[in-house]
Amino acid sequence: MLTLKFIQDNKELVVERLKIKNFDASTIVDSIIELDNRRKATQVEAESFQQEMNALSKEIGQLFKAGKAEEANQAKARTGELKDKIKDLNTSLDEITSQLNEQLVSLPNIPNEIVPPGKGEEDNVEVKNGGTMPQLEVKEPHWDLIKKYDLIDFELGTKITGAGFPVYKGKGARLQRALINFFLDEAEKAGYSEVIPPLVVNEDSGFGTGQLPDKEGQMYHVTADNLYLIPTAEVPVTNIFRDVILKASEMPVKHCAYSACFRREAGSWGAHVRGLNRLHQFDKVEIVQVAHPNESYEILDKMVAHVQTLVEKLGLPWRILRLCGGDLSFTSALTYDFEVYSAAQERWLEVSSVSNFESYQANRLKLRYKEDGEKKAQLAHTLNGSALALPRIVAAILENNQTPDGIRVPEALVPYTGFDIIK
């Protein structure tokens, strides 16, 4: 979340920049500033009364010793009054602080200056593209191909769990595992240290990265234990650094992780969410960095470049979009989406989002760093990206590489699959 100091010092900037996200912040910013001023005034008053009470408490004993019982009793009565006032002020302080925190967490991150205005995905800006569009002799969508070659069983997944939980079989399972290992190996080559995080997190972790309370309805909630299934490995991996103070010389910290991901929302009906296009459970390799604020945008560019190498090595046509304000997430300052072209569906499929959250998550996480020789800790910047999400990558690979003789496996994956064609 944004810091109180930043909001107080940059009221007009916050209101103006959040208009890019189509968020009217004028009322809430005024409320935050008013509550913060009330909080400070209440705290000062309570501290003043506390100081007076402490002074009187010392005097009472001295007055009794000096035989001034009447004055001592008057002072004692005054301390009783002060205790009641301090209690009332502390109660008010708790209420004001609670209201202030509610207002703060409801305020989105401000977008970077280069974020274009817009209401939704139709206003996103293409910044780069590459790859060659496939010329197919046959053109079947992946949901037909997976039945034809017995790669994934959606009906069995529905029987076992429900819609959106597929069962990968045979070469389909092998292809899935090959992609995971390929993405992890490529991340390691790029300097990322692998971790295997828990698949469930507590409320504090969900709050730290901004999933709670904003996306509570999209997460699977284990109510008996008040735990949440992760929507992305970003959540547990970034929370490794909750309440941590790093040395500036330790940054950037680079982690990658494979995990299953769980999301309740499945979108609307139709071809756009058919097959692997939208699932409740899917696999993803995530890259996460904790960076110095002076370096985070250079690092964002490097993370985007890393994802680009992955889609290039898979031989997929790709494009990079800079998300407009209306399509930008609640917590992000700048996001680039990667899309690959699905030849049989004749449409672009989103396979990655790479984002810089600046200090927004770090403020929630209390993730800070210290410059060498400095005593004061400052908020770090956090970044993450999908590298990559598997379902739509699998869909594009199957559709773009189909031939009359079978489905060709991208050359980069052959050492991982052990076969070069699915027949």
**DSSP, residue by residue, 54-75:** HHHHHHHHHHHHTT-HHHHHHH
- 332-377 pLDDT per residue, tens: 999 999 999 999 999 999 999 999 999 999 999 999 999 998 999 9
pLDDT at 229: 97
- Asked if residue 329 belongs to a known ligand binding site, the reply is no
Burial of 175 (0-12, 13-18, 19+ CB in 10 A): buried
9 with 79, same domain: the answer is yes
Q: In the chain, count of helices (H) and strands (E)?
A: 13, 19
Q: Please report which confidence band the pLDDT of residue 217 belongs to, taking 50, 70 and 90 as the band edges.
A: confident
Annotation-wise, does 232 bind a ligand?
yes
Consult the annotation and say whether 322 binds a ligand: no
End-of-domain residue from the set 71, 105, 139? 105
pLDDT in tens, 45-64: 999 999 988 888 778 777 77
The answer on 149 and 274 residing in a single domain is yes
Indicate whether 69 belongs to any domain: yes
Q: Are residues 279 and 172 in the same domain?
A: yes
Is residue 60 situated within a structural domain? yes
CA–CA dist 211, 193 (Å, integer): 24
Q: Band the pLDDT of 71: cuts 50, 70, 90.
A: confident
CA torsion, points 201, 205, 206, 207, in degrees to nearest 10? 160
| Residues in CB range of 199: below 8 A, 6 or more apart | 229, 230, 259, 260, 262
Helices assigned H by DSSP within 66-202: 69-105, 142-148, 154-160, 170-189
The CATH number that applies at residue 37 is 1.10.287.40
**Would residue 152 count as lying in a domain?**
yes
When pLDDT is averaged across residues 269-295 and rounded to a whole number, the result is 90
**Annotated binding residue 350:** yes
264 is in an annotated binding site: yes
Q: How far is residue 69's CA from residue 388's CA, in Å, rounded to a whole number?
A: 79
Same domain assignment for residues 100 and 126: no
Confirm or deny that 39 is annotated as ligand binding.
no
Question: Is 14 flagged in the annotation as binding?
Answer: no
Are 157 and 95 in a shared domain? no
pTM of the model: 0.92
Do 63 and 210 belong to one domain? no
Q: Is 186 annotated as a binding residue?
A: no
**Which tokens go with 68?**
């001034």
Range of the domain at 48: 4-105
65 shares its domain with 195: no
**Torsion sign across C-alpha atoms 117, 118, 124, 126:** negative
User: Domain total for the chain?
Assistant: 2
